[in-house]
Amino acid sequence: MGSIVWGKDIAEVYDMTYAAKFDPSNLGPIVRVLAQLARGGAVLEFAVGTGRIALPLRAQGVQVHGIELSPHMVEQLRTKPGAESVPVTIGDMTTTRVRGVFTLVYLVANTIMNVTTQDEQLAVFANAAAHLESGGCFVVEVMVPALRRVAPGEVSRVFTLEADHVGIETFDDAVGQIASSHHWIAVGGRLVRHSAPYRYVWPSELELMGRIAGFRLRARWAGWDRTPFTSDSVSQVAVFEKVP
């Protein structure tokens, strides 16, 4: 299946649809953690999107580079103040290389799952390692698969039910760990419909991917506030350190 590309219709409404994620109260903890892990060095964001994280991190004085598969998302980024100071390379985060060595690579908002085969998810880890200095960190934010929240015999669940956004998740292939996210979004007087498959990743599997790529798990939290990760957590922020 390869990587999922966000088209022009989604790129144009992305910021409005996920406006709450752009709130300073949401961004503050993320930016603080990433700035600390950067240790004053240059950082690289895989799937930089419209710059939700990259721009406030750059505003804190961190040198940020980005890789993004969708040129439409980058078009939205380029309209924003400060965007000229965040160089972005169009390409796939499984193989695209950026010049330089970084202290930190990060991948947030479940985007590791947009790569829909295990081999390619492993390639994301390998590509992160190739960009990092010895001892540098790769941070991955991803949800814990929600299969426990689906009743036996059911194959879908509603994960968002709002006046302007309905989201339904379907579990399509348990062997390949493939599910799909379906969205109906009302914005600007029009209805945007979007569906895409993704490959969900179990916490232990994510750690094993890191080990294969030459990382050790340095820390894992339930969120950016560093809440301890437990068997009841619905998401994880995993910090991998490149083994010297």
User: How is the chain split into domains, by residue range?
Assistant: 8-144+200-242, 148-194
For the entire predicted model, the pTM comes to 0.93
pLDDT at 2 > cutoff 70: no
Q: What is the pLDDT of residues 91-128, one digit of tens each?
A: 999 999 999 999 999 999 999 999 999 999 999 999 99
- Cα–Cα dist 222/239, whole Å: 12
- 54, 113 contact by CB (below 8 A): no
Q: Which residues pair with 221 in a beta bridge?
A: 228, 237
**Tokens of residue 190, six digits:** 């029009």
- Cα–Cα dist 229/128, whole Å: 23
Percent share of the chain, pLDDT over 90: 77
Q: What is the pLDDT of residue 101?
A: 97
Cβ neighbours for 145, distance < 8 A, ≥ 6 positions apart: 177, 200, 201, 202
- Residue 214's closest CA among 173, 179, 242? 242
Terminal CA-to-CA distance of the chain, rounded, Å? Answer: 34
In this prediction, residue 22 has a pLDDT band, given cuts at 50, 70 and 90, of confident
Q: Which residues pair with 223 in a beta bridge?
A: none
Cβ neighbours for 156, distance < 8 A, ≥ 6 positions apart: 150, 168, 169, 170, 171
pLDDT at 146 > cutoff 60: yes
In this prediction, residue 3 has a pLDDT band, given cuts at 50, 70 and 90, of low
**Tokens of residue 27, six digits:** 């961004």
Find the mean pLDDT for residues 195-219: 96
Burial class (CB in 10 A: 0-12, 13-18, 19+), 223: middle
**Tokens of residue 170, six digits:** 């379907």
Percent share of the chain, pLDDT over 70: 97
More confident: 150 or 176: 176
pLDDT at 1 > cutoff 70: no
Domain 8-144+200-242 CATH superfamily = Vaccinia Virus protein VP39 (3.40.50.150)
Q: What is the pLDDT of residue 18?
A: 72
Q: What is the pLDDT of residue 228?
A: 97
Q: What is the pLDDT of residues 47-103, one digit of tens each?
A: 999 999 999 999 999 999 999 999 999 999 999 999 999 999 999 999 999 999 999
The mean of the pLDDT values for the chain is 92
In this prediction, residue 5 has a pLDDT band, given cuts at 50, 70 and 90, of low
- Cα–Cα dist 203/83, whole Å: 34
